[in-house]
Amino acid sequence: MFTALPVLLTKVCQGRSSITLKKKWIGLPATPKLVLRYFLMLILMTVNSLAFCQTGDGSIPFSVLAGLKRSPVFLTITADTALINTSAFKSQPDSIPVKAFQFAERTEVAITPANAGVWETTTAGSVWRLGIRSAKAYSIYLNFKTFDLINGARLFVYSPKLEQLRGGITSTNQAFKRLSTPPISGDSLILELDVPAGVSNFGHLQLSRVYHDVVGVFKKSNLVSTGVSADLCDQNINCENGIYWQTEKKAVCKIITDGALSTGCMMGNTAKGKQPYLITAYHTMFDSIHAADAVFIFNYENNCNQTTLHELQSLSGATIIASTPGMDYALLRLNDVPPPSFSPYYAGWDIRDNVPLNGVCIHHPGGKHTQIALDYHAISTASFGMGYLPNSSWKVERWDIGSTEPGSSGAPLFNQQHHLIGTLTGGYSSCNYQGSDFFNKLNTSWDASLNSVNSIKAALDPANSGAGVIDGYDPYGFNPGDCDTISQISATEKKVVSSAGLQWGYLSGNNSSGFSAFAEKFTTASSLLIPGFYIDVASLSYANPAASIEVKIWQGNNSPQKEIYHQTVFLKDLKAGIANYITLDSAVKVSSGFFIGYQINYNSPAYLFAVYHAADRGKRGSSSMYVFNGSWNSTQTMDPFYYSTSLAISITECYGRSTALTRNQLLLFPNPTNNYVDMITPDGFIVSDVRCYDISGHQHPVIFRPSEVAPRVFFDLQPGVYLLYVMSAGKQMASKFIVQNR
């Protein structure tokens, strides 16, 4: 797709952090003269921006824009500590078959702007703020019994130091005029209502419940993992066992409702429409209020090293479309379509009577980051138990890799064709016990509703086509086969951030030399559509949450020339130390030479922003990084730097399904080895047994660990030559390996 100029283009891994961005203008800290400009721009944003109301529209609270110094009044909520100490708020006993997970205790309140908090006036409008504190809470989230604001009014929820900001939230698409907010980690938060100037009646707002996280699912330390999995049975979706499920994971979300956690999955329909249908378990979503109060969190995951920082990408509220007593399913329609910045995917499904040859569950056990469980054996029909329709469940006898836990309820079961066939009700599988799991069968529930209009069939096959199976799809129409992810820094190169030759700052950020813009050169032989890109942030600090940069795309062959795209990115939405994904408002078409980069709007050590780049490749090394200081120059030829490098900016691929290499023999590696070998088998060869023999024919004990990529065999053998046999459904293969001296 790309030429090899100016340097070799190499694939980079997925599983990076994703952020939500809007094309908006923002300035530096407000002065009296600038407040009116902010206000006018906020009006323009209200008119022009897409109204993804529950994710927030990216606007800045009036209190921040006006620089209000007065701290809000804090109200202390006392949770029921008697409940906090019970096992109901920890991992449920393995004997409980259903797999919902209670993590928060609720406190009933009746708070309105008329009976609590403080009103203040700014040039932009009126501001009502109230602080809420709940001692010893790991996180707090809120439920509003009444949420009915006039157009232009916005609600914000944020941490006292603004590290976490949810909003602005509007009343758009609130079918029941209710709202639940995503959790804020810590034991306190601030609630802010902004009402535009000249408006006296903001509508109606009543806070009815405060939820106190007693387990620590959303505590601050969980936003960044330590790098070590908490449970040995955890199987991170972004590690080797999830490599073939990187598309389907985007359909799965974590659900919060009434202090409980579960899992759900977006579903496609035969019309390939954008209607946001989601399926989950009835025992977690059994009435309209639970659906209206639910929060749906997408892309809640870590990279394989367990080090990714992530922002909560969430939607609030849904309507129950179909459910039936005796069958554990609930089909919902979310209040909003997941925006493009979520990279959403609607899962395909299969309602035919075919027996699944194996099964995969993608889920959020205990509210943790996305996990995967795999069963390499046929799935059978079974009955879950009393109160449920007989033979309405799929039964996974035991998982070969991973397990489910409380919090996994409602998670999808996929067959070998990557189609959804059921949703988790419960079972006895856990990290401590490899028991069975039961999934409500989609084909049994398909047309089971007492009301034929309100059925899964009516929603997912609106034209009554009679289709028994459909593939999943991206609701925004990206073709997974047409894109790739490329970087101009090879996998073997070291990424650094250089300050050589500068009094302060970095080569790839604001610095003492006054660089104001930075660009990475790309070349393509034909036209190309770019839906987004990664930018690997090395350094990040700012004195005001309104600080921003402009990401840009230019056409040009020898240097950036014609600007064809720009977008404002707030520094508060970026994270240092990882590759942040920038979703463009719409795919940008480029051809021949083009540049992707960023412009910095400040030149002070108090605001530092820099991007990783390749270590210096030397005078004759390839270089594709350009900087602007009155004119564009290559860092390779710029005095006094003469630095040959490439910026850590990589063009994204449209997320497609990974495929395995075709093999026709058993491969073992490393070979020679000490105490283990990994193996690669032909496609479709599911290992059922492993045996090891020495050259004398004596069998030796080994331990087999299944894997989607390279199953591993552990052993404690003396140095010598051995033969490893692997069996699968009456077939067997063998290969030699050598154990060397340790």
Closest CA to 419 of 301, 280, 268, 271: 268
Domain of 711, CATH number, reads 2.60.40
The domain boundary, picked from 221, 245, 273, lies at 221
Residue 332 resides in a domain: yes
Q: Quick check: 437 and 742 in contact, CB under 8 A?
A: no
The domain boundary, picked from 651, 675, 696, lies at 651
Amino acid at 142: L
**What stretches in the chain show pLDDT beneath 70?**
1-56, 80-96, 173-175, 220-232, 307-311, 449-453, 478-485, 525-526, 585-587, 603, 606, 652-665, 683, 709-710, 742
Say yes or no: 286 and 360 in one domain. Answer: yes
Using CB atoms within 10 Å of the CB of residue 173, give its burial: 0 to 12 exposed, 13 to 18 middle, 19+ buried: middle
Say yes or no: 547 and 642 in one domain. Answer: yes
d(C-alpha 557, C-alpha 568), whole Å = 25
Q: Look at residue 652 in the predicted model and tell me its pLDDT.
A: 61
Q: Look at residue 452 in the predicted model and tell me its pLDDT.
A: 54
Residue 8 resides in a domain: no
d(C-alpha 344, C-alpha 359), whole Å = 22
Say yes or no: 376 and 349 in one domain. Answer: yes
3-state percent breakdown (helix, strand, coil) of the chain, nearest 5: 10, 40, 50
Contact residues for 144 (Cβ-Cβ < 8 A; gap 6+): 178, 179, 180, 205, 206, 207, 208
Give bridge partners of residue 372 from the DSSP assignment.
362
Residue 477 resides in a domain: no
Rg from Cα positions in the chain = 27
Element (H, E) at 436: strand 434-441
Q: Look at residue 734 in the predicted model and tell me its pLDDT.
A: 86
Say yes or no: 141 and 191 in one domain. Answer: yes
Q: Look at residue 526 in the predicted model and tell me its pLDDT.
A: 67
Q: How many domains are contained in the chain? A: 4
Residue 705 resides in a domain: yes
Q: Quick check: 373 and 403 in contact, CB under 8 A?
A: yes
User: Structure tokens of 140?
Assistant: 């707090």
Say yes or no: 303 and 449 in one domain. Answer: yes
Domain of 559, CATH number, reads 2.60.120
Using CB atoms within 10 Å of the CB of residue 78, give its burial: 0 to 12 exposed, 13 to 18 middle, 19+ buried: exposed
Say yes or no: 199 and 237 in one domain. Answer: no
Q: Look at residue 233 in the predicted model and tell me its pLDDT.
A: 75
Q: Look at residue 454 in the predicted model and tell me its pLDDT.
A: 78
Residue 21 resides in a domain: no
Say yes or no: 51 and 120 in one domain. Answer: yes
Instruction: Sort strands 593-600 and 548-555 into parallel, antiparallel or unpaired.
Output: antiparallel
Say yes or no: 195 and 237 in one domain. Answer: no
d(C-alpha 168, C-alpha 147), whole Å = 13
Instruction: Count other Cβ atoms within 10 Å, centred on residue 47.
Output: 6
Which range marks the domain in which residue 407 is found? 232-462
Say yes or no: 204 and 246 in one domain. Answer: no
Residue 480 resides in a domain: no
Say yes or no: 372 and 516 in one domain. Answer: no
* Edge-first strand listing for the sheet containing 676-680: 667-669, 676-680, 712-714, 703-705
Q: Where are the alpha helices (DSSP H) in 199-332?
A: 288-292
Say yes or no: 330 and 238 in one domain. Answer: yes
The domain boundary, picked from 194, 221, 248, lies at 221
Amino acid at 472: G
Q: Quick check: 16 and 303 in contact, CB under 8 A?
A: yes
Of all residues in the chain, the percent with pLDDT exceeding 70 is 82
Residue 2 resides in a domain: no
Residue 348 resides in a domain: yes
Domain of 457, CATH number, reads 2.40.10.10
Say yes or no: 569 and 693 in one domain. Answer: no
| 0.95 exceeded by pTM | no
User: Structure tokens of 138?
Assistant: 């790991």
For the segment 139-191, what is each residue's pLDDT rounded down to a tens digit? Answer: 999 999 999 999 999 999 999 998 888 988 988 766 679 999 999 999 999 99
